[in-house]
Amino acid sequence: MNAAARALVASLGLAPHPEGGFFRETFRAALDVDAPQGRRAASTAIYFLLPAGTFSALHRVRSDEAWHHYDGDPIDLHTIDDDGRHAVARLGRAIADGQRPQLVVPAGVWQAAVPIGATYALCGCTVAPGFDFADFEMPARDALIQRFPALRDVIATLTRP
């Protein structure tokens, strides 16, 4: 991790995230809602930093997740839906080049993020209904390959052994 990324991790008080990268929750709505998965905060938000050369492993949550790009390199946001359709969208500030500063991953869609560059990507993620680790699923590589055999190479790249 380069010095700029280390400085951001320290100054924003970020901690390691199970899927990779570093995060800190910055907002949890006081309002609770009845969601299909149970009682949840209406919304939550985090800072999320991915250093160059790392990735956020394939995972899914049971709520919609809006990604916001704040600083640094763009990221490729990979998604896989229940039918095995793989898509890649670039989150970043170069709008004229097709990047978008905000992207939404619908509830239940598999997702992974890869920074594209030599430094880091600083993003935010807003989840509604709010994030709860009980709604977080990050299966082993073999389980995903068994479910989506046609995506073996993508899954091998975006998961850890």
Domain ranges of the chain: 3-157
Residue 130: what pLDDT?
96
Residue 119 burial (10 A CB sphere; 0-12, 13-18, 19+): middle
Mean of all residue pLDDT scores within the chain: 97
Tokens encoding 113 = 């993020």
Residue 141: what pLDDT?
96
Residue 86: what pLDDT?
98
Residue 83: what pLDDT?
96
Give the global pTM: 0.95
Residue 161: what pLDDT?
83
Residue 79: what pLDDT?
98
CA angle 51, 81, 31 (to 5 degrees): 75
Rounded-to-integer distance, Cα 135 and Cα 127, Å: 11
With a pLDDT cut of 90, the percent of the chain lying above it is 98
Is residue 154 within 8 Å of 84, Cβ to Cβ? no
List the chain residues with pLDDT less than 70. none
Residue range 3-157 forms a domain whose CATH class is mainly beta
Residue 20: what pLDDT?
94
